[in-house]
């Protein structure tokens, strides 16, 4: 569980003026985009969990930015010397001329995290709260190890959902690049990868995307559109054999069509 809110509650929280997403900063160069920062999802998820446990709060961008900066630039007890050197390199980046581009890169992570959290809230609202026919999992390990953004289990069917911005062709290139990176990183620990996992092959893979012509904007955040969420819900309901579906916004339960 990342946040336990109805879709309408999450949207109301996101409209808080203090959460308004700042506009885009400078373009992020390939050099800055290739800085090997540790994965941001664990940091974002931990902030969601902390906020949820202390008053149903969502983190502001500045809170997330400062959290990432501290996490990436602070030396900690029991760090290996090799990792300490990496941290010092990150600190030099944050304290140097690349900082505005790094800030913009983190802003993009933050918006992506909120968009995925909105999708998670919708799917929980639909399949756990309204239809009571499934469970939804969204956490960093799903992304890191299972190579999908969310997992939905409905009537003994498992769906791996890939959420992204842009078109399918561009996404396929990104995933191919990630595979090359993972194969290099897993040279010494291939058993910890999920390659050739037969259970994952049995899952139904679905996707949802934000495009320039299909998104909704709330308080500066570009989220997945209700139409895109409803299409994803329909795919899951049809494949799992449900005779009802849920419509967003509002999470209304209606009969399946066709």
pLDDT of the chain along its 258 residues, tens only?
Answer: 578 899 999 999 999 999 999 999 999 999 999 999 999 999 999 999 999 999 999 999 999 999 999 999 999 999 999 999 999 999 999 999 999 999 999 999 999 999 999 999 999 999 999 999 999 999 888 888 888 899 999 999 999 999 998 766 555 555 555 555 555 555 666 666 667 788 889 999 999 999 999 999 999 999 999 999 999 999 999 999 999 999 999 999 999 986
Residue 248: other Cβ atoms inside 10 A: 23
pLDDT at residue 168, as a whole number: 60
**Helix, strand counts (H, E) of the chain:** 10, 8
pLDDT of residue 2: 73
Give the integer Cα–Cα distance in Å for 159 and 153.
6
The confidence score (pLDDT) of residue 178 equals 56
pLDDT the model gives residue 80: 95
In the structure encoding, which two tokens stand for residue 180, read together? Answer: 């090359």
45 CB-near residues (< 8 Å, 6+ apart):
2, 139, 140
pLDDT number for residue 182: 57
* Per-residue 3-state assignment (H helix, E strand, C coil) for 192-228: HCCCCCHHHHHCEEEEEEEECCECEEECCEEECCHHH
């Amino acid at each position: 569980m990342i946040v336990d809110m109805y879709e309408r509650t999450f949207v109301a929280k996101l409209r808080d003026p203090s959460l308004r997403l700042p506009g885009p900063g400078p373009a992020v160069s390939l050099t800055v985009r290739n800085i090997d920062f540790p994965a941001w999802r664990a940091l974002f998820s931990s902030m969601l969990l902390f906020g949820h446990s202390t008053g149903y709060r969502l983190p502001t961008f500045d809170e997330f930015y400062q959290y990432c900066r501290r996490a990436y630039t602070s030396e900690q007890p029991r760090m290996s010397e090799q990792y300490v050197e990496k941290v010092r390199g990150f600190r030099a980046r944050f304290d140097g001329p690349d900082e505005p581009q790094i800030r913009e890169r983190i802003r993009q992570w933050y918006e992506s995290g909120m968009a995925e959290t909105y999708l998670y809230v919708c799917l929980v609202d639909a399949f756990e709260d309204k239809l009571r026919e499934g469970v939804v999992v969204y956490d960093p390990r799903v992304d890191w190890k299972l190579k999908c953004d969310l997992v939905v289990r409905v009537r003994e069917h498992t769906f791996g959902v890939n959420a992204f911005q842009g078109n399918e062709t561009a996404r396929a290139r990104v995933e191919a690049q990630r595979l090359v990176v993972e194969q290099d990183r897993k040279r010494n620990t291939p058993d910890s990868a999920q390659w050739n996992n037969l259970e994952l092959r049995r899952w139904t893979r679905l996707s949802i995307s934000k495009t320039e012509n299909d998104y909704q904007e709330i308080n500066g955040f570009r989220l997945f559109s209700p139409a895109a969420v409803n299409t994803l819900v329909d795919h899951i309901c049809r494949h799992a054999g449900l005779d009802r579906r849920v419509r967003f916004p509002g999470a209304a339960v209606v009969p399946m069509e066709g």
